[in-house]
Amino acid sequence: MPSRRTVLAAGAGVTAALTVGAPAHADDRRPGELLARMTLEEKVGQVFVSRVFGHSATAPDAADAAANQRELGVGTAAELLARYRLGGIIYFAWTHNTRDPRQIADLSNGIQRASLARPRGVPVLISTDQEHGAVCRVGAPATLFPGAMAVGAGGSRADARTLGTLAGRELRAMGIRQNYSPVADVNVNPANPVIGVRSFGADPRAVADLVTAVAEGYRAAGVAATVKHFPGHGDTAVDSHTGFPVITHSREVWEALDAVPFRAAVAAGAESVMTAHILVPSLDPSGDPATLSRPIVTGLLRERLGYDGVVVTDALDMAGVRTKYGDDRVPVLALAAGVDQLLNPPDLDVAWNAVLRAVRDGELTERRLDVSVLRILRLKARLGLLDEPYVDVADVGRTVGAREHRAAADRIAARTTTLLVNEGPLLPLSPLAHPRLLVVGADPASPTGTTGPPTSVLAAALTGLGFRATALSTGTAPSAEAVARAVTAADGADAVVVTTCNVTTAADPQLTLVERLAATGRPVVAVAVRNPYDVARLTSVRACLATYSWTDVELRAAARVIAGAARPHGRLPVPVRRADDPARVLHPIGYGLTYPS
């Protein structure tokens, strides 16, 4: 194996890249020089992306410092970087990294200062999951856009690219340069508990178009998009966070369905791809999850699809990757499979030492490690981290949540709301004919974007459109008492708007709520605020909309459609099958009603 001195002496990027065994790139000079100076321990640190608790890199709250000590063996992010020389940090709301945009920018700068203060310091690639819709780690005042399936209902590639561009600008302003989005899974299973509305839809070519458009937008903003979850997580009824999903697609079905968006993303220059903790026997009969499968990561993604960018695992604390091997084996096997970044191991010390030991013992060669580190450094160079690792905190307020960004989110949302049922027609409602509205259901008191007590975004939006709307939260599993309160409240309303969230069985108490409200004789409008499949069971309502998420921007758009201030434009990006006969399609892909001009 060549020494670090050999790599450094090579100088030019192409030669350096070849020396360490990675394909040559024209921009490899600085990454190659950085790699050549690194110790083995520093190289091991570069392939890890870890969580850390706290709003500050050096002065977290006492509870967060205690959580760091308990889970990571250090008190602060700065200490974590000093100990493990990490290549990446991931932000979560639950680790208290994302209080507000200015604080996030300060945290990012603190992380960079701590890393660059070390000998041979390298900027940190800071990441998060900002998919929009159902999964957002950074809330308001950052701009919150419609989620993937809503964008799929809108069907506009231009909207998808705008979303990526504006969302990317806001992330970059806060120091976040890698986003674990977009989802490239083709959601063909209505019972999918982990993907669902996080997917753009069930048509692989439509998904491919929108995935590449969103990724283009992020690239234009200087943020690395991460296409996920390879080789495709769209046809499972098991959540890989808590179990080990099995995908039974044949190789031919995989090629025609799951592979299509990933192939398009690779051809379009995807900066990173995330693996899935799923078992696909037709692609690898070994019983290993895809994250740990060399036939899948190297054989399919790298060789068949021709991908040479950064491959990142899904979180290594998830059950799907921990069922067969221990936490000391998982990171080693992932690297052996062809992965570059190891995301959020449950025990960082165990994982870091396992990789270090595997290289020292010869199970992994240092050459193999160098290939991954070079890819990571190359990505950091392309994102400008090697030249400008810090962000201008004064710029945060001008960029994050900018008025033009929020206006763009509302325009995009206006094209996504899907009208699925409209008997009569009942919709649009008029403040003259139905002045008093009762808003009940899954989460009419949506707290998204509020800083005080939860308020009903949907009721507030309808009130702003001329109605007198009252909210009564009944939750996703309303009790008999909650149903009775809603029925009583309906007596004082001219119409009822009821939100539903994943009504999957005939015994769902949400369905009881809807049917009891319909039995009052009041006109009932249902709004499916997550999966659109709810409409198959909502047979007692006169009108039904799908918003694909209960975030503010989608609920405001739904209110405008209900009030007739906007026409519904969305079209189903997934088929909805009959509840009484799943072999038959109730509403096909592309279905959607509208109002007369």
The residue from 241, 308, 317, 347 that is catalytic is: 241
CA nearest neighbour of 318 among 344, 353, 351, 349: 344
Active site residue 241: yes
Q: Which of 536, 528, 589 is nearest to 554 (CA)?
A: 528
Both tokens of residue 540? 């007692």
Residues of 412-448 as b/e, b for ≥16 C-beta within 10 angstroms?
bbbbbbbbbbbeeebbbbebeebeebbbbbbbbbbeb
* Adjacent-strand bridge partners of 321: none
Neighbours of 361 (CB within 10 A): 8
Nearest to 497 by CA among 469, 516, 475: 469
Residues contacting 224, CB < 8 A, separation 6+: 125, 177, 178, 179, 218, 271, 272, 310, 379, 382, 383
Residue 104: count other Cβ atoms within 10 Å of its Cβ.
Answer: 28
Catalytic: which of 314, 370, 443, 552? Answer: 314
Chain mean position to CA 413? 18
Cα distance between residue 130 and residue 147, in whole Å: 10
Within 8 A by CB and 6+ apart from 255, the residues are: none
Identify whether 27 is a catalytic site residue: no
**Sheet strands side by side (includes 342-343):** 310-312, 272-275, 224-230, 178-179, 125-128, 88-91, 48-50, 342-343
Residue 273 near residue 309, CB atoms below 8 Å: yes
Contacts of 272 (CB under 8 A, 6+ apart): 178, 224, 225, 226, 227, 309, 310, 311, 312, 341, 379
The half-sphere exposure of 421 on its side-chain side, counting CA atoms within 13 A, is: 22
Catalytic residues: 241, 314
